[in-house]
Amino acid sequence: MIALPASIRVFERGWLSSNNVLLVDDTCATLVDTGYATHASQTVALVRNALRTRPLDLIVNTHLHSDHCGGNALLQATWPCRTLIPSPEADAVRDWDPARLSFRATGQTCERFGFTGTLAPGAHLRLGALDWQVLGAPGHDPHSLMLYCADERLLISADALWEHGFGVIFPELQGESGFAEQQAVLDLIATLDVRVVIPGHGAPFTHVDAALERAMSRLAWLRADPARNAKNALKVLIAFKLLDVREMSVDALLRMLDDAAAMRAAASMLKPRGEWPVLLKGMIGELAANGGPLEVDGTRILARR
């Protein structure tokens, strides 16, 4: 069991939702990241059980992928909490612009939410009676942030560093730079004095040097052949969608490759449009093999978990 300050509680979530980090002190109860929309009621229940009669005061989003902000709307409806989002996302959220937000591009959902303020690298927050520095973490997402507490040597890393890797490098699917930014973030983490990493997915961990070594090795492997990143992205997005809706036809999933821009971009990097049915069949087969998350029943694809 990894020791964390008494003011911090981590709700480790499974597929679909990111972890939630609850930080409580005498003046503010804060939740960092809120999970996916279909788990929003569960997120509210977890927070309510932890806070009891006390309200949630503040939401902080490290970035605005649907699995990190999908609980925002219900939490805001339950408590009159303030919400801080990465500053470059402010206009897209204010206007609720589907073209600029990632939800449609990934084939995912997120109920509309508001915000009361923004965060940028270099900012400082007082959360859970601890001082946190806001750090930029582009790579997985251009606007992603991390929170670093030097006094306790804690890093809330979101999807910039997991114990065994990091999140999909989405900008590279659109022909934008992402690998170099991810390398810079890993290099930045290596300069910090970190005792515990609280990742966006998976349990908190202490073997930070080993995790960085694995992440850097994986990044080098992806950079050597960008199609590897595209294949990983497409498999992740297909698995996510099926675990959300539980069942789809092969034809419906094939239509999603055209409709969801990130999936379309990933598929286009792998095969010409005319070969997408074959590509999809192979992807589903890999996700169904050896007890994977999916199974196939004729023309239907089912979530196994």
Summarize pLDDT for 96-136 with one digit per residue, the tens: 998 899 999 999 999 999 999 999 999 999 999 999 999 99
pLDDT at 92: 98
pLDDT at 298: 87
Average pLDDT of the residues in 210-223: 98
End-to-end CA distance of the chain: 27
Mean pLDDT of the chain: 96
% of the chain residues with pLDDT over 90: 95
Q: Express each pLDDT in 172-208 by its tens digit.
A: 999 999 999 999 999 999 999 999 999 999 999 999 9
| Whether the predicted pLDDT of 142 surpasses 90 | yes
| Whether the predicted pLDDT of 32 surpasses 90 | yes
Confidence of residue 25 (pLDDT cuts 50, 70, 90): very high
Global confidence as pTM: 0.97
Average pLDDT of the residues in 43-69: 98
Average pLDDT of the residues in 273-285: 94
